[in-house]
Amino acid sequence: MIVSVQNYHQSFGKRSILTNLNFQIQKGEIVGLIGPSGSGKTTLIKTLIGLQRPTQGEVHVLGHQQPTLKVSKEIGYMAQSDALYEDLSARGNLAYFGKLYGLRKDILKNRVNFVLAFVDLLKDADRPVRYFSGGMKRRLSLAISLVHQPPFLLLDEPTVGIDPTLKQLFWKEFESLRENGVTLLITTHIMDEAERCDRLLLIQNGQLVVSGTPDMLKQKFGSIENAFLKKEEV
């Protein structure tokens, strides 16, 4: 089991963000975390990485209770906004994060080149990131999340602001990662992306309202979009 969340609550001060979440994620799944903006998706992601302590309940990732530095190495993270060092080159950014994840020098070089090729940035590898287009920055962010070969990937809206061609490329890469036994949790509110997931978690108003395969959601509500909309009315 990759993720196990039990009776998890999260609140900031008096404001409650997430209430009583319970779910699990198995190895080798692509799980889609869907829900309207402000429903608490990013808050959940941050707890899963260990950037905040659960107010209540337990969150286990790869057998370790979060927050702990022990699993940081096993998680690949792509934030909603591109968190890149603009003055450094793509290679410089990758090498920095690779080193922080403890990659040895000889391995680091190979891994950097491998992920650069994976996201098709090899020929721009030595240019400073500030000259990059939005799509190139997204690709570099994805490459950074992959550099240390993590078995579990947390991607917060990875395809926001990129063109359809690049989106197709991203999803092909996600699927090829799954082939290699990597588990992915991807947040999105784009319906055709949701359909490509193995399983969906729908969060609304801080609660997990539906969990199931895209087909299950379609049978129950007619379409995934309906599930999204209907539940929001409740």
Partner 1 sequence: MQSIIVAQRVIAQVVKDKRTIGMMLVAPLFVLFLMYTIFGASSDDVTIGIVNLPEEVTQLLKEEATVITFPTNNDAKKAMIEQKIDASISFENETAHILVEGGNVSKNASAIQKIQRTLTVLTLEKSHVQIQSLNELVVQLQEQLRLITGQTPEKVAIPKTLSQKSSISFLYGDSELDLFDQLAPALMGFFIFFFVFLISGVSFLKERSSGTLERTLATPLKRSSIVLGYFIGFFLFVIIQTILIQLFIVNILGVTQNGNYGILLLVNLLTASVALALGLLLSSFSRSEFQLIQFIPLVIIPQIFFSGMFDLSDAPTWVEFINRIVPLTYAAEALQNVMTRGHTFIDIWPNLLVLIGFVIGFFLLNMKVLKKQRPV
Q: Which residues bind partner 1 (CB under 8 A)?
A: 49-53, 67-69, 72-73, 75, 77, 79, 81-88, 92, 96-97, 99-102, 128, 144
- At residue 208, what is the residue type? L
Which of 83/229 has CB closer to partner 1?
83
Report yes or no: 204 and 227 within 8 Å, Cβ to Cβ: no
Shortest separation between residue 83's beta carbon and partner 1, angstroms: 4
For residue 233, the minimal CB distance to partner 1 (Å) is: 34
> Can you give 75-98 as a three-state secondary structure string?
EEEECCCCCCCCCCEHHHHHHHHH
> Would you report the helix, strand and coil content of the chain in percent, each value rounded to 5?
40, 25, 30
Within the chain, residue ranges assigned H as helices are 41-49, 90-100, 105-118, 134-146, 164-179, 191-195, 214-221, 224-233
Q: Least distance to partner 1 from the beta carbon of 51, Å?
A: 5
Nearer to partner 1, 81 or 213 (CB): 81
Q: How far is the CB of 102 from partner 1 (least distance, A)?
A: 7
Answer whether the bond into residue 67 is a cis peptide, omega within 30°: yes
Residue 75 is which amino acid?
I
Residue 78 or 169 having the CB closest to partner 1: 78
Nearer to partner 1, 72 or 159 (CB): 72
Residue closer to partner 1 by CB (options 140, 194) is 140
Strands 152-156 and 183-188: parallel
- Choose between 5 and 84: whose C-beta lies nearer to partner 1: 84
The residues, ordered by sequence, that sit 6+ positions from 139 with a Cβ below 8 Å of its Cβ are 119, 120, 121, 166
Q: Which of residues 127 and 196 has its CB atom nearest to partner 1 in the complex?
A: 127
**Nearest-CA neighbor of 15 among 35, 34, 40?**
40
Q: How far is the CB of 225 from partner 1 (least distance, A)?
A: 30
**DSSP helix/strand/coil, 2:** coil
Least Å from the CB of residue 49 to partner 1: 5
Q: Give least dist CB 99 to partner 1, A.
A: 5
